[in-house]
Structure 1
Amino acid sequence: MDLKKLFNENKPSESRILASALTFSGGFVDAYTYIQRGHTLSAGQTGNVIFFANSLAQGNIQGMLTRGTTFLAFSIGLLVVGLFHKYVKNNFWRVFCLFPILIICAIVGFLPKEFPNYYIVPAIAFCMAIQNASFSKIEGLGYNNVFTTGNLKKSMVAWSAYFFGEDKTKYNAAVNYMWLVISFAVGAIASALLQNYFSLRTIWFGVVILGVINIVYVSLLVQKHKI
């Protein structure tokens, strides 16, 4: 199989298939932390603000701690990517940005249910933020690969411009964002179904998915730069 036919040859980090795969894994991991780890979203910080407010109203200190630290960890993760990219200028910098989520998710699969969620979910959120900030474009368009509200909005706006405004240039954008929304939803559904059978160990499927993504991405970079 020629990888160049599946990915954007000039900018593999912006290819539709890579963005869809990353967004699938984003939905997969987010569903895992919500179902298995205290009903907290590792990436969806809008939801965590609401959950934090609910915990505050109910006097749930542990819930406040988990949601608050998750929000903070995600924010720090976004900052870390900018700092990392400032000092690491080679073409493989995004490869290293996927290592943290691989390592943390692999470890989390071994941890028992009793292990405090205010350690686990913030650690995953930090890594998800790094993934999100490292891969932020699909064919030149900005997107998010760990949550889907923005992608849904952009898809509907582009489809509206295409059908009602007769702006045919919006077709690719509409299709790209539509695929991202579908990928996130399918990832979340797959995670929820697998959790019925594998419970806490379901996160290891996410590790496999991300591992394959990283291997393929490295292969693309090697081909492109002929190393």
Structure 2
Amino acid sequence: MKIKRKFREIVPSHNNTHESLRLGIILAAVGGFLEAYTYIGRGGVFANAESGNIVLIAIGLAQKNYKMSILAFIQVIAFILGALANETIRQREREKGIHPNRYSKIVLLVEAIILFIVGLIPETVPHSSVTSIVAFISGMQISAFKTLVDSPYSTTICTGNLRSASEAFLKAIKYKDKLNRARGIRYSIVIIFFALGAALGGILTEEIGVKSIFAASFLLLAALVIFYLDNKESKDEI
């Protein structure tokens, strides 16, 4: 308890569960897991990193390797459709006055179900079909969970998080700013768990194969428990 209190003194807690560090940790672990899973078990691609696919489109066109360009283009479109699907549903939920926490739980449940189905798809199915589904999920997740307490972040790629962590720590050191120190620590924790998720994904995919993605599905279901725990803590405080 003393360690927890000390940590909270340095890194203040969240106000909304869907923006919490504890949820961000699980989502980042899932993001890393999926990158390792698609790279090792589904054709050697990173389904979350669409910048790489855009590069492949350009290279394919330059080398007249149109198959490469088309396959990479499909991944990008799947990602865009995931982001658009999330935004469309969120707008409708917002118009109905539904709390963001409830919508976030729906997204997590949908992701968990789809990823479980992905684990049932045999290796004989073309990898591009599976990685497109994962790219769609990535688009949904990156669009649905964009804020870490009080800062923008990503749960499926780390480039932006690395930049934000560097900037936050620089400001924290230069100006002795506690707020930026807390932000830098949060970003760093998310990055670490992204890496741990990738390590777990790599190990399980090597050992189990394509069904290892069930672990990512279970992690997302575990994330739903966080909403219950936060709700229970709020009632206890009252």
| Fold conserved between structures, TM > 0.5 | yes
**Closer, same or farther in 2 for the Cα pair 1:61/1:203, shift >3 Å?**
farther
Tell me the residue number matched to 1:39: 44
Structure 2 CA distance, aligned partners of 1:218 and 1:55? 48
Map 1:153-172 → 2, pairs under 5 A: 153-172=163-182
> One-letter code of the match for 2:223?
I
Tell me the secondary structure at the aligned position of residue 112 of structure 1: coil
- Return the offset for 1:63: 3.4
Structure 1 CA distance, aligned partners of 2:119 and 2:163? 34
1:125 maps onto 2:135 in alignment = yes
* Equivalent residues of 2:14, 2:21 under 8 A apart: no
Aligned length: 223
* Equivalent residues of 1:65, 1:118 under 8 A apart: no
The gaps in structure 2 that reach 5 residues or longer are: none
**Closer, same or farther in 2 for the Cα pair 1:32/1:205, shift >3 Å?**
same
Farther-moved stretch of structure 1 (5-14 vs 59-68):
5-14
**Closer, same or farther in 2 for the Cα pair 1:197/1:15, shift >3 Å?**
same
Structure 2 CA distance, aligned partners of 1:183 and 1:162? 22
**Closer, same or farther in 2 for the Cα pair 1:225/1:124, shift >3 Å?**
farther
- Residue number among 104, 109, 123 corresponding to 1:94 in the alignment: 104
Farther-moved stretch of structure 1 (190-199 vs 160-169):
160-169
Structure 2 CA distance, aligned partners of 1:198 and 1:214? 25
Structure 1 CA distance, aligned partners of 2:235 and 2:67? 49
Farther-moved stretch of structure 1 (31-40 vs 47-56):
47-56
**Closer, same or farther in 2 for the Cα pair 1:133/1:198, shift >3 Å?**
same
Tell me the residue number matched to 1:73: 78
Structure 2 CA distance, aligned partners of 1:118 and 1:81? 22
Aligned residues: CA RMSD: 2.5
Map 1:60-209 → 2, pairs under 5 A: 60-88=65-93, 89-91=97-99, 92-209=102-219
> One-letter code of the match for 2:180?
K
- Return the offset for 1:189: 1.3
- Return the offset for 1:162: 1.6
Normalization by structure 2: what TM-score?
0.83
- Return the offset for 1:209: 0.8
Superposed CA deviations along residues 176-208 of structure 1, whole A, max 9, x for unmatched, are 111111111111111112222111111111111
Tell me the secondary structure at the aligned position of residue 15 of structure 2: coil
The gaps in structure 1 that reach 5 residues or longer are: none
* Equivalent residues of 2:80, 2:139 under 8 A apart: yes
1:19 maps onto 2:24 in alignment = yes
Tell me the secondary structure at the aligned position of residue 98 of structure 1: helix
- Return the offset for 1:96: 0.9
* Equivalent residues of 2:23, 2:226 under 8 A apart: no
Superposed CA deviations along residues 52-76 of structure 1, whole A, max 9, x for unmatched, are 3344455555433332111111112
> One-letter code of the match for 1:40?
V
> One-letter code of the match for 1:83?
T
